[in-house]
């Protein structure tokens, strides 16, 4: 199997998470822009989006690559440019795939019979922009981000209905709450192991930060603070904060400038997993010690010492 990239070790603490002999393996190539890796325990496979191709692919050891859904995020009759497909993917406690659909501007759930249930598509009567990434809370609430990347003309799109990019909480009863609208480009998100903080990436090159928000007892968010700021690296590394995951110790593995940035629970950058190109997202798989990465036209993985938070759930 081909290997690429390098591990950038900025602090000795990285050695406890990423072995010295770890390599980045290339599993598949040829995608327009891969995103949203999500491990499916039912058949030990990885699902991920190819946004411009409007498709969801499946990779499984010993079998390789197949396409399991097309279209995945845009079902309109007229061809459209831009990023129409699904983006972030995750599974709920019942093993049902939950999707952020760019083109159809909604969050959906795939039922066991193949039907899709629309979970969210409007806020205050207006269509969402283009849901991007999502994460389930153990209590059954769903949090997701809604920037403008799926709109054909972005922020200037004539079909845009909401004047902000929000982070939302979909309650178990179906109520949709706006939990913050302070970020210009909210993107990836993940909970801390104790579920008391929600990390949100802001994929704005002029403010390339990860924020940490207090999660209150009622599910709303408290005041946000900057968890880590890498704005100064964007001009050289040409990548912004994107998708992320958290390990069992609270370390954050986040796609951003220079690759997957590895940060301590205090927000200290201690290293990077660098594929040599852009990385959009990452996700745990196998026994929870493998980190899968959607890296532009590639799907990659690396074997770690640490394990995903609360794996396998």
Q: How far apart are CA 129 and CA 146, in angstroms?
A: 6
- Residue 287 to residues 135, 219, 290, 292, Cα–Cα distance (Å): 20, 30, 7, 12
Q: How far apart are CA 13 and CA 112, in angstroms?
A: 43
Task: Write down the pLDDT at residue 82.
Answer: 92
Task: Write down the pLDDT at residue 30.
Answer: 97
Roughly how many angstroms between the first and final C-alpha of the chain, as a whole number?
29
Task: Write down the pLDDT at residue 258.
Answer: 97
Task: Write down the pLDDT at residue 312.
Answer: 82
> How is residue 37 written in tokens?
């890796």
Residue 10, helix vs strand vs coil: coil
List the Cα angle 49/165/90 in 5-degree steps.
30
Task: Write down the pLDDT at residue 90.
Answer: 98
Residue ranges in the chain modelled with pLDDT below 70: none
Q: What is the DSSP letter of 63?
A: T
- Residue 18 to residues 26, 95, 224, 237, 265, Cα–Cα distance (Å): 17, 29, 29, 22, 16
Domains of the chain, start order: 3-303 (2.120.10.30)
């Amino acid at each position: 199997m081909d290997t690429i990239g390098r591990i950038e070790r900025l602090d000795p603490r990285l050695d406890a998470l990423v072995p010295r002999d770890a390599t980045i393996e290339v599993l598949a190539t040829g995608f327009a822009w891969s995103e949203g890796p999500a491990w499916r325990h039912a058949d030990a496979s990885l699902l991920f989006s190819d946004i411009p191709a409007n498709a969801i692919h499946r990779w499984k050891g010993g079998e390789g690559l197949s396409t399991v859904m097309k279209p995945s995020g845009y079902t309109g009759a007229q061809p459209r440019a831009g990023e129409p497909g699904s983006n972030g993917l995750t599974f709920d406690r019942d093993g049902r795939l939950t999707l952020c659909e760019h083109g159809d501007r909604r969050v959906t759930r795939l039922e066991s019979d193949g039907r899709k249930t629309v979970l969210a598509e409007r806020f205050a009567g207006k269509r969402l922009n283009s849901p991007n990434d999502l994460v389930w809370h153990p209590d059954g609430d769903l949090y997701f981000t809604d920037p403008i990347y799926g709109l054909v003309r972005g922020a200037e799109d004539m079909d845009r209905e909401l004047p902000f990019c929000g982070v939302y909480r979909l309650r178990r009863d179906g109520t949709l709450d706006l939990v913050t609208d302070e970020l210009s480009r909210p993107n990836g998100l993940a909970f801390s192991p104790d579920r008391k903080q929600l990390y949100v990436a802001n994929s704005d090159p002029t403010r390339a930060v990860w924020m940490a928000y207090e999660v209150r007892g009622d599910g709303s968010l408290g005041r946000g603070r900057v968890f880590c700021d890498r704005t100064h690296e964007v001009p050289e590394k040409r990548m912004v904060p994107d998708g992320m995951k958290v390990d069992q110790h609270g370390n954050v593995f986040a796609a951003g400038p220079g690759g997957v940035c590895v940060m301590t629970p205090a927000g200290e950058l201690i290293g990077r997993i660098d594929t040599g190109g852009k990385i959009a997202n990452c996700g745990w798989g196998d026994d929870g010690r493998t980190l899968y990465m959607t890296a532009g036209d590639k799907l990659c993985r690396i074997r770690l010492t640490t394990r995903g938070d609360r794996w396998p759930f």
